[in-house]
Amino acid sequence: MDSWPVNWEALDALIIDFAKSENLIEDSSPPSSPSLTSSYHSRLIIRQIRRSLEVGNIDAAIDILRVHAPFVLEDHRLLFRLQKLKFIELLRKGTRDDRIFAIDYLRKSLAPCALNAYPEAYEEFKHVLLAFIYDKDDQTSPVANEWAEKRRYEIAGLVSSVLRAHFHAYSPIFSMALRYLMSIHKVFCFRQGIVSPISYLTERLLLEERDFPALPPESLYEAQVFDEVDIQALAHAVELTRQGAIDSLRFAKGDLFQAFQNEICRMRLNDAMLDELVREYCVYRGIVEPGMQTSSESLKVNPPESGCCSSLDSSIDVDHSTAKHSNSETSATTDLSSMQGIDVELRFASEPTNNLEDCSPSGSHQSESSSLLRNRSKGAGERSKRKRWRGRHDDLDFISGVHFNRDGKQEGVECTSAEDKYEIVLQMKELASRGMAAEVVEEISTLDPDFFVQNPVLLFQLKQVEFLKLVGLGDHSGALRVACSHLGPLAARDPNLLKPLKETLLSLLRPNEEALVTGLPLHALATSLQVAFGKRLGIEEPQLMRIMRATLHTHSEWFKLQMCKDRFESLLRIDSLKENNTPVLTSLATSKSNIDSCSLGSSQATISSTTGVSDDSSSPNQASSQDAICDENAILKVMEFLALPRADAIHLLAQYNGNAETVIQQIFA
């Protein structure tokens, strides 16, 4: 089992919803959230306006705004910025006619707008006139910033923020959750002095720059009182100053969750890389068939050397055994990009995978499972359920394909066909998710006799499933044979298996309870089997799985340090990604640490206690081991006055018996 459990079925649902919301697959059914369907057209409009501004085609952007969002042009603050940028772009062209047109545009449009835009606008207008006499290539000129092409991106980001909030055209839940988790992961690693084992991915996926925040309507600039709890929650969730959080709440008219979504969507992702990470995950999970033909150059993402990771590796299951680091981008022995020419389709995770009526451990199913591997026509029938991946056709001129270099060392099973490898692994995963443990063991042992020798815990878990199903069917003799032949010998060789063995044997006392079968964590077991057996075939787990394990782990650890519950985790479905119903087999996996939580909106006391990164490794700069009760208002007061993170405020209060005034006096003294 994974060292940090993730509900992969919940992630499947979010990713399928993401693919449908972004129109990445050819499917007529809408995504689970109707709002995302309605916002797709708005997101396309915003994307088109952004691109027009980024390439300096201001007229095209204004024309689109005039048709779809005239309110932007009615806001003189935004209109002035657009007109100023258009003036610079006219001068940038450098022709005599454009220069004359720029002067005329200055008189008729830019100057009148500057008088009514905002108090500083007229000074900015006079300043931009210097562009007439300073060349665009003069980096020392007083208007070098006006000439800089980054100004296009700033204005594009600002307009995008305004449009996104106005149309409620937020990114799909998965995209927002990924931004949030990666930003927390970066902060956590920085604060704890840890080198992130997935930095080679996060640094390229989550871009440093953010869109400019949207401007609140002028009518909202009068003083407004917001709950300090909301201000601090927003400020620390998305790394804003206190004033920035207040401005964001003001723009959202006090709606904390809308303000949060506005701020999360300001974070920029590498869309091309994200799409390929999603496609790679879908291929691995059996949602999309192996192989995708790309029309442009590949952007390779190479993992670093295995020795570069820090103590965080011990608590996050990130496999670097096959990772290599090179300054040059080299091709891998096994690369997903090599599997071209195969139609890319997608099936839904909603198809039944836990059909207990067809999960008898008797030999009647063995011929069925054998034929799944040996009769390729059955695989073709399964593939017919999948939908075609279409990609971002509107993005073809702006993105490049992404391929992930892998060290494709193969061992154990000889299987030269990439498609066959994926099909075999997916069929094993399917059988395991349906509870057909005996068939899985037989098939894998036939294909690779050494697999379970090297993975005894997986064998134990599969035999647990077989044992419990036999008990549920009333076959006590068969169940005891499984225990004597497999569970007992495996537990004798590994003392860690003795406790789960005892718990498993207790099921004999309640043989008729349906929960014996329905409560099994079959999906989690199937995923563990898929990862392990896939590696035997040279199929590495997708990079997205590594990202999710690492970021979900640090999310939990971060809020243990904050000693509160994340107010936004339900909005982004992060809580569902952490849910893992594993009542029987959890003793074999690393259990989740209990998270000390308190409501950010309540006046309940917060208890400061020792926390750690995981059961087997501790985090530096941990909370004080001396328990101290801190009032929520005292925490917020210290956070506000000293501009401190929540954890630091709690630690200081713990040193001064929870007295906020004493803490503030001591700091300023």
Q: What is the pLDDT of residues 114-165, one digit of tens each?
A: 988 888 989 999 999 999 999 888 889 999 999 999 999 999 999 999 999 9
Alpha carbon distance 93, 96 (integer Å): 9
Alpha carbon distance 247, 253 (integer Å): 10
Chain centroid to Cα 483, Å, comes to 41
Q: Does residue 325 have a pLDDT over 50?
A: no
Handedness of CA 576, 582, 588, 594 (dihedral sign): positive
Q: Does residue 405 have a pLDDT over 70?
A: no
Q: Does residue 356 have a pLDDT over 80?
A: no
Q: What residues does 299 pair with on adjacent strands?
A: 402
Chain centroid to Cα 217, Å, comes to 32
Alpha carbon distance 347, 382 (integer Å): 9
Task: Report pLDDT for 652.
Answer: 79
Task: Report pLDDT for 316.
Answer: 47
CB 595 within 8 A of CB 556: yes
357 Cβ contact partners less than 8 Å away, ≥ 6 residues apart = none
Task: Report pLDDT for 39.
Answer: 80
The tokens for 532 are 């392990």
pLDDT, tens digit, for every residue of 457-516? Answer: 999 999 989 888 888 888 888 989 999 999 999 999 999 999 888 888 888 777 555 545
106 Cβ contact partners less than 8 Å away, ≥ 6 residues apart = 87, 129
Name the band, by pLDDT with cuts 50, 70 and 90, for residue 377. very low
Q: What angle do CA 295, 300, 304 make, to 5 degrees?
A: 170
CB 347 within 8 A of CB 20: no
Q: What percent of the chain has pLDDT over 70?
A: 68
Alpha carbon distance 571, 261 (integer Å): 9
Alpha carbon distance 41, 145 (integer Å): 34
Name the band, by pLDDT with cuts 50, 70 and 90, for residue 426. confident
Q: Does residue 573 have a pLDDT over 50?
A: yes
Q: Does residue 233 have a pLDDT over 50?
A: yes
Name the band, by pLDDT with cuts 50, 70 and 90, for residue 90. very high
Q: Does residue 201 have a pLDDT over 70?
A: yes
Task: Report pLDDT for 558.
Answer: 93
Task: Report pLDDT for 613.
Answer: 35
Alpha carbon distance 90, 105 (integer Å): 9
Residue 464 amino acid letter: Q
Can you give the pTM of this predicted structure?
Answer: 0.76
The tokens for 528 are 């563990």
As a residue count, the chain comes to 669
66 Cβ contact partners less than 8 Å away, ≥ 6 residues apart = 73
Residue-by-residue DSSP string for 555-609? HHHHHHHHTS--TTTTTTTHHHHH----TTTGGGSPPPPPPP---TTS---EEE-
Task: Cite the beta strand spans of 373-443 per DSSP E.
Answer: 387-388, 402-404
Task: Report pLDDT for 163.
Answer: 94
The CB density around residue 472, as the number of other CB atoms within 10 Å, is 23
Q: What percent of the chain has pLDDT over 90?
A: 41
Q: Does residue 180 have a pLDDT over 90?
A: yes
CB 64 within 8 A of CB 49: yes
Alpha carbon distance 569, 13 (integer Å): 16
Please tell me the least confidently modeled range out of 14-23, 68-77, 382-391: 382-391
Question: CA Rg, the chain, in Å?
Answer: 29
Name the band, by pLDDT with cuts 50, 70 and 90, for residue 629. low
Alpha carbon distance 469, 365 (integer Å): 14
- Overall average pLDDT of the 383-396 stretch: 65
